[in-house]
Amino acid sequence: MSAPQSARSTVRRAPHRADYDRGVIYEVLDSALYCHTGFVVDAQPYVIPTIHARVGDTLYIHGSPASRMLRVVRAGAPVCVTVTLLDGLVLARSAFHHSMNYRSVVVLGGGREVVDAEEKLAAFRALVERVVPGRWGRIRRPTTAEFARTQVLAVGLDESSAKIRTGPPVDDEDDYSLEVWAGVIPVEQHFGAPIDDPRLIEGLSPPSFP
């Protein structure tokens, strides 16, 4: 486990669950299908869910040019991006020690609007491939108008940390003798059967999912 990059990125609550290794942070970010981005406008905090994609040490988030989030970030406002993966419900013998097994990442810092056309197109591709790997090679590319109607925010991972809980419940020693079931109920993410678009050309097959 590497050291935190700054005082802001240091995990203070349950620090034994913190991990600052970039590989761990990458794995959590890449496993999450969406993120939440926090920002402040006129002293009011907001949190917006959106799709993200990581390329190296850069996290890309997309949105409309009219997006309040992108507008304030372009003006220099700091952001906080979070993702959480729920892995299990942890049932203890006492109410106090019930918990959840999870993997989470918090990214702090300033964002920048992606204006370079080449980087922006690469970010588009990363966002599409993040949702369905291999999809970019089968779809129509963005038109000039669509390119202009979508903005991309880049956030570096210079201040980021992971926090992970695994394992069974941790009860008070006296509670282990209670006749109450305790353990972990796993939570898994899976995809259902594809549903064809009503206007789909006959004979086309959906993409394969992991």
Residues 15-55: tens digit of each pLDDT: 888 989 999 999 999 999 999 999 888 888 999 999 999 99
* CA–CA separation, 40 and 171 (whole Å): 39
Q: What is the pLDDT of residue 70?
A: 76
117 found inside a domain: yes
162 found inside a domain: yes
Q: What is the pLDDT of residue 141?
A: 94
* CA–CA separation, 51 and 53 (whole Å): 7
Range of the domain at 78: 15-170
Instruction: Please state which of the ranges 57-71, 82-96, 156-170 shows the lowest mean pLDDT.
Output: 57-71
209 found inside a domain: no
- Kindly report, residue by residue over 15-26, the tens digit of the pLDDT: 888 989 999 999
Tokens of 33: 């299908």
Contacts of 203 (CB under 8 A, 6+ apart): none
- Kindly report, residue by residue over 122-151, the tens digit of the pLDDT: 999 999 999 899 999 999 999 999 998 998
Tokens of 70: 């992108």
How much of the chain, in percent, has pLDDT values that exceed 90? 70
Mean pLDDT of 176-191: 96
Q: What angle do CA 22, 27, 32 make, to 5 degrees?
A: 130
What are the b/e assignments for 88-104, b being 16+ CB within 10 Å? bebbbbeeeeebebbbb
Q: Which residue has the higher pLDDT, 43 or 2?
A: 43
105 found inside a domain: yes
Mean pLDDT of 54-74: 85
Q: How many CA atoms lie within 13 A of 136 on its CB side?
A: 13
Looking at the structure of the chain, the number of domains it has is 1
CATH number for position 88: 2.30.110.10
- What DSSP element (H or E) covers 114? none
79 found inside a domain: yes
Q: Match 């761990």 to its residue by tokens.
A: 24
φ, ψ (nearest 5 deg) of residue 131: -80, -50
108 found inside a domain: yes
118 found inside a domain: yes
123 found inside a domain: yes
Q: In terms of Cα–Cα distance, which of 191, 38, 36 is closest to 104? A: 36
Q: What is the pLDDT of residue 6?
A: 79
